[in-house]
Amino acid sequence: MATPFLQAISINKTYPGERFAGLRKTSLSIHPKNITAIIGESGSGKSTLLKLLYGLLSPDEGEVQFNGERIWGPEEKLIPGHDHMKMVTQDTDGLNIYAKVWDNIAGLMPNTDVAAKKERTQQVLKQLNILHLADKQACYLSGGEKQRVAIARALITRPEVLLLDEPFNQVDTSFREGLQQDIRQIVEETGLTVIMVSHDPAEALSMADELIVLKDGEILEAGHPQSLYQNPQHLYTARLLTNCNVLSSADAKHYGIRSKAEHIVIYPEWAIITSSWTRKNWMVKQVLFKGSYEDLVVEKRSVTLRLLNSKPGKYAAGDKVHLKVKKYLEF
C-alpha cells in the first residue's frame, strides 16, 4: 500500500479550561493534489486541526504524518511549521508595507540564482493575477490584493501543501470569487494540495473536492461536496451548508409529510410552486429580491417556508399559491 500523503492518526489536543476545548481522537487522510475544506461552527476546532496538521501545535496523543514521517511540533523545531507546507491566515502582517509587491515576494527566494529568482517571481505574480501590481508599494493595496500577495509569498518557494485559515474573510465578495477560481486553477495546474478552513458554504461547496465537517472537536462526517449537500447524515451539516427550513414532524404533517423523525428538513430549492387552480393553500408572505432570483417566504397554518424562485417578479406578497415539496430529509 502506498504511504498516505498527509494523515492524522487518533490525535487529541485539549486546551486547559472547564469546558472541553480542542480536538478529540481525530483521524483523517488528506488526498494530495486536492482541495480539502474543513467546515464547522465557530469553536469547533477547525483552526486547531489546521495547526496540528502544519506542526504549529503538538497533539497530546496520536500523531500527524507527512509522507509517513511524524511531523515535528513547535518545541522540536527552530522555525515552527513543516518545511513543505505554508499557511495563510486573515492577517497579512507578514507583508512589508513599505516595500514593493515584487520585493515582498521575491525577497523570500535565495539570491543564489538571480535569473531563476526573477523567473519564479514573475510566474507566481502571474498565477495570482498581480503582475500589474509588481511595482506598487504594499501599503496601497486593497484587502483582496494584499491577500493575493500573501498567497504569492506562500507559494513562491513551492510548498507541497498550502493551508488557508479563513483567508478571504476581509475580501469583498466580488474579489473572493476570482481568488477562489485562481486557487482552483493553481491546484489543477501545479498539483498543489490545499487544506482550507471556511465558514462560507458557497466557498466550501464550490472549491472543495472533499469536505470535512467538525463539531465540538470531532469529525462528524466527511465526503464530496455534492453528496454531503444532497444527503447529509446530520442536521448540523445541513444547517452549515444551506439556509434550510427545519420543521417539526407535527408541522410537516400539514403538508402531507408523514414521518416520525424529530426534524424534517426542506432546502429552499426543494419546495416548488406549481400551477393548480384549486388547492392554492399557501400564502406568499414576503418576497426578497436577490437579483437573478428571489427568496419567497410562504405560509400555511402559521408555518413558514423559505423557497427559491428563479423567476423574479412573478409573485407578490398576499398571492395564494400551490406548493409541492419534491424532497425532504429526516433527522
Binding site for Mg ion (CB under 5 A): 46-47
**Partner touching 7 among ligand ADP, Mg ion, none, CB below 5 to 8 Å by kind:** none
Q: To the nearest whole angstrom, how small is the minimum distance from the Cβ of residue 57 to Mg ion? A: 13
Residue 167 within binding range of ligand ADP, rule CB under 6 A = no
- What's the min distance (Å) between Cβ of 232 and Mg ion? 22
User: Would you count residue 225 as binding ligand ADP (CB under 6 A)?
Assistant: no
Q: Which residue has the cell 478571504?
A: 168
Q: Minimum CB separation from Mg ion for residue 185, in Å? A: 26
Question: How far is the C-alpha of 156 from the C-alpha of 124, rounded, in Å?
Answer: 6
| Residue 141 CB, nearest approach to ligand ADP (Å) | 26
Pick the closer one to ligand ADP by CB: 42 or 112. 42
Minimum CB separation of residue 31 from ligand ADP in Å reads 22
Nearer to ligand ADP, 32 or 43 (CB): 43
For Mg ion, the closer of residues 43 and 94 by Cβ is 43
Provide, rounded to whole angstroms, the least separation between the CB of residue 46 and ligand ADP. 3
Number of residues that bind ligand ADP (CB under 6 A): 12
Residue 15 in contact with ligand ADP, rule: CB under 6 A: yes
Q: From CA 6, how far away is CA 193, in angstroms rounded?
A: 10
Choose between 45 and 159: whose C-beta lies nearer to ligand ADP: 45
DSSP letter at 131 equals: G
The residue among 186, 208, 165 whose CA lies nearest residue 34 is 208
Q: Count of alpha carbons within 13 Å of 21, Cβ hemisphere only?
A: 9
46 vs 120, which CB is nearer to Mg ion?
46
User: If contact means CB under 5 to 8 A according to the sort of partner, which of Mg ion, ligand ADP, none does residue 22 touch?
Assistant: ligand ADP
Cα separation, 142 vs 153, whole angstroms:
16
- Return the residue nearest Mg ion (CB atom): 47
**Mask of contacts with ligand ADP, 21-60, x by CB under 6 A?**
xx-----------------x-xxxxxxx------------
Cβ 107 to Mg ion, closest distance in Å? 29
Residue 40 binding partner per list Mg ion, ligand ADP, none, with a CB distance cut-off of 5 to 8 Å that depends on partner kind: ligand ADP
C-alpha grid cell, residue 55 = 506542526
Using alpha carbons only, what angle is made at residue 32 by residues 60 and 124, rounded to the nearest 5 degrees? Answer: 105
State how far the Cα of 218 lies from the Cα of 120, in Å rounded to an integer: 40
CB-nearer residue toward ligand ADP: 88 or 106: 88
Contacted entry of ligand ADP, Mg ion, none for residue 121, CB cut-off 5 to 8 Å set by kind: none
Q: Cell triple for residue 105?
A: 515576494
The residue among 96, 52, 24 whose CA lies nearest residue 195 is: 52
Instruction: Quote the cell numbers at residue 14.
Output: 485539549
Rg (CA), the chain: 24
Residue 169 or 259 having the CB closest to Mg ion: 169
**What is the closest distance, in whole angstroms, from the C-beta atom of residue 19 to ligand ADP in the complex?**
7
Supply the DSSP string of 166-183, one letter for each residue: STTTTS-HHHHHHHHHHH
Torsion, CA 38, CA 41, CA 43, CA 49, rounded to 10: -10
Phi, psi (deg, nearest 5) at residue 201: -60, -40
Q: Which does 15 bind (CB under 5 to 8 A by kind): ligand ADP, Mg ion, none?
A: ligand ADP
DSSP string of 183-234? HHHHHHHH--EEEEE---HHHHHHH-SEEEEEETTEEEEEE-HHHHHHS-SS
Q: Interface with ligand ADP by CB under 6 A: which residues?
A: 15, 17, 21-22, 40, 42-48
